[in-house]
Structure 1
């Protein structure tokens, strides 16, 4: 199932709190029926979705009237964990320490719960992120293809993105998209998200037959859903400064 598309046009204001200022971003979505507030966990910005014929001034007044809600959400954010030497990040749910190896050959490799990065120190963050995206693509594609084959469906295309509002999506044309940040989650959580989208290849809904099919190709639907509910936003902290 596809995400709703928003126009690219946006306008940024600052929303002031006693101890901090938070970027307030306005985005137009002509399909929206009301003003919607959303916390962008990747950038710690508040996104104000504006329906058709709704002004930014109306959106700002709405945000101001919900400052308590916004501050509560901001307080739930964990400290960012940049991809630098010595940082510990989860890889498939298991903690791994980033280790800069300036004199080593190669680029990035993983062994003994460490992610080793060769080259200059200033290249470490980008190389770690590039490597994580490659690993995410490899893990996700293999699992998705196997599950699609199990239900007699074919995947037209798989895309790995840095999505903000969903961990995965499926179009009616059979194109799947997943967040590369699933590489931080435990394997059973990644497996559930993949099963969820693959099941949409056959059942483009969330009815009883969809959940039955999802359970047939994933053994831990409920535990994984609960984990995402409790820990999903934490996955956005990695790689941020």
Structure 2
């Protein structure tokens, strides 16, 4: 029997719908044991299966940890779908998603709303495309300013959809950021970009590194606190 990519599974002894969860199966040639984790972005359980491990083994692990799984899923931030009439933050400010099918331009900001054109089936994708493009624009501008102040140059800037890291700096000078940061207040984005740019001077978290961060952004403590409190909501958007 071919393993499905995902399925809804009811855990024994729990009441529906809270006793149900979406399971995504992830076969892995590198895994050595069956494992599971919660994906906050999808609100699903990801079960990793090593070679020769069966779906049955994955289900046994899921049921063994059923109470923990349900507790973690219940604690997730509410989903924030990209739908017409919904609302999403951009730069920390709420914007209505306004669908105007007869208009042209894909998706754009106007009068405090994110206007999305074309068929209703394209709304979610066009919202996501807009956010990625806007994130690239804002991150690029901030990185350029901070890099100029420190006299450094990033090798490249990448936008990703990471689960646990808002930004990173590779040894070769490539900076990477979660595009979801475009939904956070501007001063939060500014801090994350400043943090990674500072790594171009100090590839560590020494006192010298934090001194460079302080030169670039005064928002360290507030931004870290904001991401700790509201970051899970950003992961549930889309």
Asked if TM exceeds 0.5, the reply is yes
Once residues 121 and 48 of structure 1 are traced to their aligned partners in structure 2, the CA distance between those partners, rounded to angstroms, is 33
Which is higher, the Rg of structure 1 or of structure 2? 2
Structure 2 regions of 5+ residues with no counterpart?
none
**Total equivalences in the alignment:** 228
The alignment yields a C-alpha RMSD, in angstroms, of 2.9
Identify the residue that residue 208 of structure 2 maps to in structure 1.
209
Structure 1 regions of 5+ residues with no counterpart?
1-10
Where 1:149 maps in the other structure, the secondary structure is helix
Q: Which moved more, 1:119-128 or 1:38-47?
A: 38-47
Pair 60,194 (structure 1): closer, same or farther in 2 beyond 3 Å: farther
Identify the residue that residue 41 of structure 1 maps to in structure 2.
40
Once residues 44 and 152 of structure 2 are traced to their aligned partners in structure 1, the CA distance between those partners, rounded to angstroms, is 39
The answer to whether the Cα contact below 8 Å between 2:8 and 2:20 also exists between their aligned partners in 1 is no
Once residues 61 and 205 of structure 1 are traced to their aligned partners in structure 2, the CA distance between those partners, rounded to angstroms, is 42
Q: Deviation string for 1:110-150 (max 9, x for gaps)?
A: 12211111222222211111111110000001101111111
Q: CA deviation at 1:168?
A: 1.2
Q: CA deviation at 1:215?
A: 1.9
- Give the TM-score normalised by structure 1: 0.81
Identify the residue that residue 21 of structure 2 maps to in structure 1.
21
Q: CA deviation at 1:102?
A: 1.8
Once residues 234 and 110 of structure 2 are traced to their aligned partners in structure 1, the CA distance between those partners, rounded to angstroms, is 22
Where 1:165 maps in the other structure, the secondary structure is coil
1:130 is the counterpart of 2:129:
yes
The answer to whether the Cα contact below 8 Å between 1:23 and 1:46 also exists between their aligned partners in 2 is yes
Identify the residue that residue 195 of structure 1 maps to in structure 2.
194
Identify the residue that residue 179 of structure 1 maps to in structure 2.
178
Pair 173,43 (structure 1): closer, same or farther in 2 beyond 3 Å: same
Once residues 237 and 180 of structure 1 are traced to their aligned partners in structure 2, the CA distance between those partners, rounded to angstroms, is 13
Identify the residue that residue 116 of structure 1 maps to in structure 2.
115
